[in-house]
Structure 1
Amino acid sequence: MKSRALLVLLAMSLLLVVLAACGNAEGSGDEASSSNTEESTSGEGNSESESETTEVLVDGSSTVFPIMEAVAEEYQKENPDARVNIGTSGSGGGFEKFAAGETHISNASRPIKEEEKQALEDAGIEYTEFEIALDGLSIVVNQENDWVDQLTVEELNKMWSADGGVTTWADVREGWPEEEIEFYSPGADSGTFDYFSEVVLGEEGQIRQDASLSEDDNVLVQGVTGSKNAISYFGYAYYAENKDSLKAVPIVNDSGEAVTPDQETVQSGDYNPFSRPLFVYVKNEAVENNESVYNFAKYALENAGEMAEAVGYVAKPDSAYEDALKKLDEIAGK
């Protein structure tokens, strides 16, 4: 009896072992299947990432930024897969990145300088300049400033020059208050800084040391809106966006007329010497070999006039944009 019972016990044990082995095998199959699914999903994700449109890299002038930002927003609405990255390092900072091969397009509120041309030549980078809009560099004071009715370039020179000897408004013109002036200026990498310095201070002139500098025009706006005695200068679009808290100072032009910046006076050139063109510089090789850059550049030139006016600047004639598009197609070999 004992032998028989032992045989039964051994048989049952063997059966349990077989069943357990089968269960483990099935479990192993499930785990393998799950792992393969994850790998497949991961592979699909990588494939989608690789198929994304190449990012278009833009940097440079904070003055040109509102135009290109508006262009980029509309472009990406129409092209959901597109990616456009726009920085604001200032015109000079933008050209440095352009020459270093870090960007495809460089925004500028002044023409490229000789040393910047040389840096691009040394780097073997060919480029094309496009004028995309006009701007009226605006001299602004606080809305509560009720004494500054106009300024001459000579007065601006006296105010902003390092050796001008101006501390209070009374130092600028007799009868103005003896209140200390607060100066806010774009930073030295800004094309607006370069343009203002050239027109107001001249080649040898130096800006006053106590001016607060910032590459961000919004910081300058905040500085002037926060003080009745502040003064600054920046692109017309930033003034237009903040008309309720800023006052644009009429500037005496070369005809002796005090002129306020607006679309008409900038377009006609009556607002001189502060009417100026705005630029984008496009890397030729990128336009020729990168369809994403070409498509965005084309869209920008097609819509720059409309977008410029939408954000407060002045469009160039339609014929200017048509000529620019032809030039772009020539570069791209279209």
Structure 2
Amino acid sequence: MSEAAGEEFAREQDGFDYELSSDGSTGGFENFFLPGDSDINGASRPIMEEEIQEASDTGFQPVEFQCAGDALTAVVNNDNDWLDCADLDQLSEIWHPDSAPETWADINSDWPDEEIELFGAATTSGTFDYWTEEVVGELRVIREDFDGTEEDDEIAQGVAGNEYAHGYLPYAYYDNNPDSVKALEIDAGDGCTAPSLEAASEGSYPLARPIFWYVNQQKLQENEALQEFMRFAIELSGDRSIVSEDIGYVAMNDQEVQENLDRLEAAIDGDLSEDEAIPSMN
């Protein structure tokens, strides 16, 4: 989303220059945003209370804008013919350090007695935080013997290269590479649901999650170029042709776009309470 917004804004604004770094949500918070070195942090999970406090200690208020939705997708190798739908308990069992099955047969005796090879997000990623909290059941708790990376293509390649592998990806990556790996349906107790933008938008897909931008309010108030960029980016977040068709995320609806624009103007004017600045905390 940040890359698309930057590229589109640069096309319309001659001379606009920006720097974009891919460090993962948590890495971006810790290394750049919370110390006050960056204007914006893209995040695939909500900001945490301790991060809000760290920003306050630095001297600024973060302002939250949901910019898209995602359907985080659990994947297996295309030759996996024993698992089409996984429930959350099964996924938790696979990834939790207290259970940590070595083979598929350790989960179900009818499944292959072959070692499970796991691929997932690096610990600096917001996707890692989301997966551990929502799937494993404990934030940042996970078995150690998995291959972690910030690169989605490395996860897909790893799963594609081993019949007994398993991992998880943003839906946007899977949607653009649907033949490389097999997506699992997810059962949270109401039956199996396949990952899709429609299911994520409707709320029926269990691993639907929001995608955010967090903006430094102090820098926002001081920088007119940042203000104009954020107005543009928020409008772009409602453009289905870019967000859904090109990127593979759920676009924001008209009401959500307007709420974000209203929050932006309130943040610029200084007329925004701490609760209003971070809607996900309410």
TM-score by length of 1: 0.76
CA distance in 1, matches of 2:75, 2:42: 24
State whether residues 72 and 169 of structure 2, in contact with CA within 8 Å, keep that contact through their aligned partners in structure 1: yes
**1:43-100 deviation per Cα after TM superposition (whole angstroms, max 9, x unaligned):** xxxxxxxxxxxxxxxxxxxxxxxx2212211111112311122212111111121111
Structure 1 position 327 matched with structure 2 position 260: no
Q: Residues 303 and 159 of structure 1: is their aligned pair in 2 closer, same or farther, counting only changes over 3 Å? A: same
> How many Å apart are 1:204 and its aligned residue?
7.2
> How many Å apart are 1:168 and its aligned residue?
1.4
Structural RMSD (CA):
1.7
Which sections of structure 2, spanning at least 5 residues, go unmatched? 271-282
SS of 2:60's equivalent in the other structure is coil
> How many Å apart are 1:165 and its aligned residue?
4.2
Q: Which residue of 1 aligns with 2:83?
A: 148
CA distance in 2, matches of 1:248, 1:327: 37
CA distance in 2, matches of 1:267, 1:132: 13
> How many Å apart are 1:218 and its aligned residue?
2.4
Amino acid at match of 1:93: G
CA distance in 1, matches of 2:148, 2:188: 26
Q: Which residue of 2 aligns with 1:118?
A: 53
Structure 1 position 181 matched with structure 2 position 120: no
SS of 1:122's equivalent in the other structure is helix
SS of 1:81's equivalent in the other structure is coil
> How many Å apart are 1:196 and its aligned residue?
0.9
Selected match of 1:276 from 183, 188, 209 = 209
State whether residues 132 and 139 of structure 2, in contact with CA within 8 Å, keep that contact through their aligned partners in structure 1: no
Amino acid at match of 1:312: G
Selected match of 2:163 from 228, 237, 240 = 228
**1:98-133 deviation per Cα after TM superposition (whole angstroms, max 9, x unaligned):** 111210001111111111111101001122111111
> How many Å apart are 1:164 and its aligned residue?
1.1
Residue identity (%): 39
Structure 1 position 74 matched with structure 2 position 13: no
State whether residues 185 and 211 of structure 1, in contact with CA within 8 Å, keep that contact through their aligned partners in structure 2: yes
Q: Residues 79 and 204 of structure 1: is their aligned pair in 2 closer, same or farther, counting only changes over 3 Å? A: closer
Structure 1 position 296 matched with structure 2 position 223: no
Structure (1 or 2) with the greater helix fraction: 1
CA distance in 1, matches of 2:87, 2:140: 17
> How many Å apart are 1:202 and its aligned residue?
2.0
Selected match of 1:99 from 31, 34, 37 = 34
Which sections of structure 1, spanning at least 5 residues, go unmatched? 1-66
Aligned residues between the structures: 266
Amino acid at match of 1:186: A
SS of 2:19's equivalent in the other structure is strand
State whether residues 52 and 61 of structure 2, in contact with CA within 8 Å, keep that contact through their aligned partners in structure 1: no
1:1-334 paired onto structure 2 within 5 Å: 67-96=1-30, 97-203=32-138, 206-255=141-190, 257-272=191-206, 274-306=207-239, 307-309=242-244, 310-333=246-269
CA distance in 2, matches of 1:179, 1:243: 25
Q: Which has the larger radius of gyration?
A: 1
CA distance in 2, matches of 1:70, 1:126: 25
TM-score by length of 2: 0.89
Q: 4+ residue stretches of structure 1 with deviation over 6 A?
A: none
- Structure number with greater CO (CA < 8 Å, separation at least 6) is 2
CA distance in 1, matches of 2:17, 2:189: 45
